[in-house]
Amino acid sequence: MQQFRDLEPMEAEGRRQAVEGRPTPEMQCAGCGCKVGSGTLDRVLQRLKQSDWPQREEVLIGLDAPDDAAVVQVPGDRVLVQTIDYFRALVNEPYLFGQIATNHCLSDLFAMGAEPQSALAIATLPRAIESKQEETLYALMAGAIDVLNQANAVLIGGHTIEGTELAFGLTCNGFAQRDRLLRKSGMQIGDALILTKAIGTGTLFAADMRLQAKGRWIEGAIASMLQSNQAAAIVLQAHHATACTDVTGFGLLGHLAEMVQASGVAATVDLGLIALLEGAAETATQGILSSLHWQNFRADRFVNPEARQHSHYPLLFDPQTAGGLLASVPSEEAIACLETLHTKGYTDSRIIGRVIGRVEQPSDQPPIRIDIDS
């Protein structure tokens, strides 16, 4: 009881000192010190040249005339598709992180066949002097806006706070025709499974944090994360994809498991056909795995046990940042779809498996068979 009565004061997070003509407080309280100052935000928005952003007539109130909230008109013939992602920085360059995070956040829209329209940002900035925070926020948002502009989407608002490390995310809004939405369900017997990017970002960045990754491995992973899924989604729709999802935090097997369960089907995957980022096989073989890997490994129950002997097997559970799209495509269109993806720059795209039958529930057989012969 004494511990609840004789309380220690909040620990000071910094000494009182003159910073840009103003003293810093002894402590950062969540009630006020957590929020980034309005002056910093105003200067960053002025530097970002909003006149260069795409103009969307559906945005009735946005950052060109800020109010308490943004207002968007939803066209009567389309549905609104929304998604949100937020995570801490995995690279120490704010501009690059802004690009990667925005690609990651937009991918859910692409996976569902939606056209990006607008986004709301949320950023956590490390505590620092005002000028340093301004530069960090400017670089972060410049990277995000560059990617949004490429997708013809506009930033319409956001929120910033202070914290111990840089983190960023977006709520992304998109429009789609109701009858053209892609879902995780919808896979048909005989469909080919197409994966548009190589996998391995989780193990590679885990290795990088342990100083066990080669520079070219990380550069290759970053290049993959910077590649938008937008053009790939258009190709998949043009070839009548029956189902689609983006491969991110749950790993390839976790996301495939969601698809086969939602569709009530079984699938086979050839482990030897899956493209791997350079270095991923080496780091995974050394047992260097993402902290989320072991939670993802619970999806092991969906797979035939003999697949576990393959050295690449752990990579099926590797969480991805800004990973590729996984789609089922009618078999008669699969080759043409793959060739088009290659011409569009998705050179690591592969046909990795097939939908092989229906699954009656309950079933004693795992719905995903991993072929390890090749």
Which residues participate in catalysis according to the annotation? 32
Between CA 163 and CA 224 the distance in angstroms is 29
> Taking a C-beta distance cutoff of 8 angstroms, is the pair 202, 289 a contact?
yes
What's the residue count for the chain? 374
The crossing angle, in degrees rounded to 10, of helices 230-238 and 331-343 is 150
What are the start-end ranges of the H helices in the chain?
Answer: 2-5, 38-47, 94-111, 130-150, 201-209, 215-226, 230-238, 251-263, 280-285, 293-296, 331-343
Instruction: List, in order, residues 6 or more apart from 65 with CB less than 8 Å away.
Output: none
Q: Give the C-alpha distances (Å, rounded to integers) separating 69 from 43, 156, 206, 237, 337.
A: 20, 9, 38, 34, 42
Q: What end-to-end distance do the CA atoms of the chain give, in Å?
A: 65
Nearest to 118 by CA among 57, 180, 177: 57
Instruction: List, in order, residues 6 or more apart from 314 with CB less than 8 Å away.
Output: 203, 284, 289, 293
- Return the ∠ at Cα 170 (arms to 167 and 174), rounded to 5°: 165
> Taking a C-beta distance cutoff of 8 angstroms, is the pair 266, 359 a contact?
yes
Tell me the three state secondary structure of residue 264. Answer: coil
